[in-house]
């Protein structure tokens, strides 16, 4: 009997990261981290809706493998978000959202329009997504919501104050969602990347000195690739993280573990 139980446990562990029979919606799947997240979820058995404002980009992502379906979605349109959640032929088990924007300016130079633009996409759209998809998950008694915060949620940098504020706000909002939806079986977590080579960071990457300065800040001494965030998404979407909620998972190459750098004299 003990041998049988052990065999059953091993078999269960072998399926720990599998997502067969589950439906995931990835918002921002047209490029970067969103695209890699969609591909990774599909590779583990999920049917994945690749949602993006740019339908051409979403379609390109969906063409990269089986189980991927493109969907045009502008998350700044709250009614469109509600329709996406309510009008799906199959309920969503997993929601991942990566869409974000940044305006690099000091606070004193920010305009009200720029402030509203960053807050609208980074925070208000996230609020709409969590409410729209979280409601259905709570009614069905389960689901996993995964938002993308940033190292800027805990470590600020001059010129990124509004971006940092939205990411810190997102963490607290999703922690609250974890507390409120937990009794209904819904888990809510955030992934916090460090510096990732994506369209959002192209401005930095285009300046060699700036790019190298960012790379040298982490323990691993380099920028991450978008695909290096995909494992965290699969983990948080799967039963491997069945008792993980209200957490922020840092995938930052050790950036937030380091306070300064010292090279001993030779």
- Long-range interactions of 109-117: CB distance < 8 A, separation 24+: 110/161, 110/162, 114/162, 115/162
Tell me how far apart the 2 most distant CA atoms of the chain are, in Å: 70
Residue 61 lies in a domain: yes
Residue 80 lies in a domain: yes
- Cβ pair 51, 30 in contact under 8 A: no
Question: Which range marks the domain in which residue 55 is found?
Answer: 19-198+225-250
Residue 125 lies in a domain: yes
The domain total for the chain is 1
Residue 203 lies in a domain: no
Model pLDDT, residue 89: 64
List per-residue pLDDT tens for the chain, 266 residues long.
455 577 788 888 989 999 999 999 999 999 999 999 999 999 999 999 999 999 999 999 999 999 999 999 999 999 999 999 997 667 899 999 998 999 999 999 999 999 999 999 999 999 999 999 999 999 999 999 999 999 999 999 999 999 999 999 999 999 999 999 999 999 999 999 999 998 778 888 888 998 999 999 899 999 999 999 999 999 999 999 999 999 999 999 999 998 876 677 76
Residue 85 lies in a domain: yes
Q: Is 163 a catalytic residue?
A: yes
> Model-level pTM greater than 0.85?
yes
Q: What is the domain-level CATH number for residue 230?
A: 3.40.50.720
User: Which residue in the list 71, 163, 214, 235 is annotated as catalytic?
Assistant: 163
Torsional sign, CA 196, 200, 202, 204:
negative
Residue 206 lies in a domain: no
């Amino acid at each position: 009997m003990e041998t049988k139980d052990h065999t059953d446990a091993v078999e269960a562990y072998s399926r720990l990261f599998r997502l067969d029979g589950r439906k995931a919606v990835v918002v921002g799947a047209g490029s970067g981290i969103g695209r890699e997240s969609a591909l990774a979820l599909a590779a583990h058995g999920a049917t994945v809706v690749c949602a993006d404002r740019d339908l051409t980009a979403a379609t390109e992502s969906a063409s990269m493998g089986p189980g991927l379906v493109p969907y045009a979605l502008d998350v700044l349109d709250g009614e469109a978000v509600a329709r996406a959640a309510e009008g799906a032929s199959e309920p969503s088990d997993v929601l991942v959202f990566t869409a974000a924007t940044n305006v690099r300016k000091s606070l004193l130079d920010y305009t009200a329009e720029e402030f509203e633009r960053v807050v609208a996409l980074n925070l208000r759209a996230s609020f709409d997504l969590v409410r729209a998809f979280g409601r259905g998950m709570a009614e069905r008694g389960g689901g996993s919501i995964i938002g993308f915060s940033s190292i800027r949620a805990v470590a600020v940098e001059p010129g990124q104050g509004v971006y940092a504020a939205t990411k810190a706000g997102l963490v607290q909002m999703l922690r609250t969602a974890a507390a409120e939806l937990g009794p209904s079986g819904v888990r809510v977590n955030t992934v916090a990347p460090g510096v990732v080579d994506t369209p959002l960071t192209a401005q930095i990457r285009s300046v060699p000195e700036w790019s190298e300065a960012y790379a040298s800040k982490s323990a691993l001494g380099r920028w991450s690739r978008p695909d290096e965030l995909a494992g965290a998404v699969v983990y948080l979407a799967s039963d491997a993280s069945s008792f993980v909620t209200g957490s922020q998972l840092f995938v930052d190459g050790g950036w937030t573990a380091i306070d300064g750098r010292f090279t001993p004299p030779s």
